[in-house]
């Protein structure tokens, strides 16, 4: 029953977004415009972008783009008074978290599929294709951490009147370790002499970060969504 409920909630979020296109379009426009601005802002006199900043730029863009989607995670349920009915249903609240987290992860992934080619064109034309699997693995792990932490905090912020202001204030400080590790590893993988073995420690850190917040969300989500 839990698996069916999980699939139903994920499908509902995806169909709602397919009809409204509120979240993905806003995230996409922000990411592309930010990359265009960074491209011209960090272009040196010789004509090429400053590759030293590439990892930091891409993850700053992705994190702030993700915040646009996270702020909308429970917008329909809260504004249309659907959440109370959902909580009265015989469904494990952790299943609600997993479904919402999956939806946020999918939306972020869709944006990255479109944005990464733009990023590679502007900032990393010299990147080696051989390091692409490691880069994709890093992005997936970092996205999981963003979606896990963001969904948990979006649930807590949903209960307040100033949820659009509260979520970034709480989310960004807690996401800083993840962003630093992901940005550093991304810059290494995209540099001309980068080596996959040099980022294994950062990949392990991101994996541990994901595990900590998954366990934290599993243990506290009943309280977070019920208060």
The span from the CA of 156 to the CA of 171, in Å, is 11
pLDDT digits 0-9 by tens, 101-114 = 999 999 889 888 88
User: How many whole angstroms separate alpha carbon 32 and alpha carbon 34?
Assistant: 5
Report for 30-39, 56-65, 82-91, 161-170: range of highest mean pLDDT: 56-65
Residues 6+ apart with CB under 8 A from 77: 83, 86
Helix (H, G, I), strand (E, B), or coil: what is residue 207? helix
Give the model's pLDDT for residue 167: 86
Residue 121, pLDDT > 70, answer yes
Q: What is the pLDDT of residue 204?
A: 93
Please tell me the predicted confidence (pLDDT) of residue 148.
94
Per-residue pLDDT tens digits for 139-157? 999 999 999 999 999 888 8
Domain count, the chain: 1
The per-residue pLDDT for 18 is 81
Residue 78, both tokens: 């809260």
Would you call 51 exposed, middle or buried from its count of C-beta atoms within 10 A (0-12, 13-18, 19+)? middle
Please give the average per-residue pLDDT across 151-173, as a whole number: 84
pLDDT tier for residue 2 given thresholds of 50, 70 and 90: confident
Could you identify the residue written with the tokens 């100033």? 162
Domain containing residue 162? 2-224
Task: Give the residue-averaged pLDDT of 58-74.
Answer: 85
> Buried b / exposed e across 163-172, counting CB within 10 Å, b at 16+?
beebbbebbe
What is the pTM assigned to this prediction? 0.87
In this predicted structure, what is the pLDDT of residue 207?
95
């Amino acid at each position: 029953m839990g698996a069916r409920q999980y699939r139903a909630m994920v499908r509902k979020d995806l169909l709602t977004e397919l009809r409204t296109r509120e979240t993905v379009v806003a995230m996409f426009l922000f990411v592309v415009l930010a990359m265009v601005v960074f491209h011209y802002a960090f272009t040196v006199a010789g004509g090429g972008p400053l590759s030293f900043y590439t990892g930091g730029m891409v993850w700053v863009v992705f994190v702030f783009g993700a915040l646009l989607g996270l702020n909308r995670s429970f917008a329909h349920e809260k504004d249309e008074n659907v959440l109370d009915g959902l909580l009265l249903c015989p469904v494990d609240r952790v299943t609600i978290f997993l479904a919402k987290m999956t939806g946020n992860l999918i939306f972020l992934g869709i944006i990255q599929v479109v944005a990464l080619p733009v990023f590679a064109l502007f900032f990393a034309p010299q990147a080696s294709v051989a390091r692409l699997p490691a880069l994709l693995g890093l992005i997936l792990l970092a996205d999981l951490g963003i979606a896990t932490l963001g969904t948990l905090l979006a649930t807590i912020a949903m209960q307040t009147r100033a949820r659009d202001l509260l979520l970034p204030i709480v989310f960004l400080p807690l996401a800083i370790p993840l962003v630093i590790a992901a940005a550093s590893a991304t810059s290494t993988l995209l540099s001309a002499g980068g080596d996959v073995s040099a980022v294994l420690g950062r990949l392990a850190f991101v994996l541990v970060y994901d595990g900590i917040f998954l366990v934290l969300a599993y243990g506290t989500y009943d309280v977070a969504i019920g208060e």
